[in-house]
Structure 1
């Protein structure tokens, strides 16, 4: 079995950062063993304690374990590309956020808060040798209907989760090449501005 380890994909950072941030990456294959319920609970507990504007905690999550009807429905809501590999994951999550505050105003910061909760979850997962692959490629309108999401909440992304160490041979050849490729990020000069925004595009 050919696998890709966290060590192999460790980021070559420009400055020293925390080890879990360097080792985190988004595989498309996972170890087949299921994630126990107590481990799933720990992931959501990490998300629970993320910072949020006015402590509104607008994030919501729907999850399903491989082998369940809900899991198959989640796969069916994904883009054709994501369906090719997401079926390798022992666990799937759909994320959503509450669109308005309790006062009825648009919650401008809800997506920011959802992102913070997923950042927490990602670092908790990393400490447990669990990989998370976040996806934008889902039919959110279909997901809203299939999973009975109430009005006022917006399905946003999907996440495939599983322990690191999946068999690369379960992927099509083109995806295997991506899986073993080097990780890259934009340099600070393209997104960090001191004092004022400077056009460096």
Structure 2
């Protein structure tokens, strides 16, 4: 029977060129250890975000987070899509990620979503270094999140994130999700997205 530890080994990317090991190891788990994230763990993750690049150093990212067992955790969970609710309750930590849409001068910050992505990339690598799995989710009802968390005008919740230390029991997942968890990681070849000199 496949174990979580075997899954972690199987999910190491089969890269064509050598890359930083933490990038090879990263994947998006749907099962997690019961180990809680401590305040220090959370501070380290947000410190990685703090020092990520952003246009004009505007740092437009904003986050709402909660630990399992809290009312806020249940509220975030209720904002997730039905599919994500099938597994996200395994995570000891849930988070909503948003951004400030305009600059302080009132003009549209066209790069805000890009900067949010950069910050989450930083956090994901830091989490991997700490043995924490991160699963980013597009399946979130952002309108509901805005309402229940009183998100101010001018901000937008873009994604949700489930986090926890690697581990847990595969049997906590439904059969279809167990199959997805064990599926081989794939990525488009570079020739499909990187073009020298002109768009191909």
Corresponding residue SS for 1:20: helix
CA contact (8 A) 1:98 1:154 kept: yes
Corresponding residue for 1:116? 118
Q: State TM-score, norm by structure 1.
A: 0.97
Corresponding residue for 1:174? 176
1:31-180 matches, cutoff 5 A: 31-180=33-182
State how many pairs are aligned. 198
Corresponding residue SS for 1:17: coil
Runs ≥4 residues deviating over 6 A = none
Q: Which runs of 5+ in 1 are unaligned?
A: none
Q: Which runs of 5+ in 2 are unaligned?
A: none
Inter-partner Cα distance in structure 1 for 2:55 and 2:35: 37
Corresponding residue SS for 2:96: strand
How big is the shift at 1:85? 0.3
Corresponding residue for 1:3? 4
CA contact (8 A) 1:125 1:132 kept: yes
Corresponding residue SS for 1:132: strand
How big is the shift at 1:6? 2.5
CA RMSD of superposed structures (Å): 1.0
Inter-partner Cα distance in structure 1 for 2:128 and 2:168: 15
How big is the shift at 1:8? 2.3
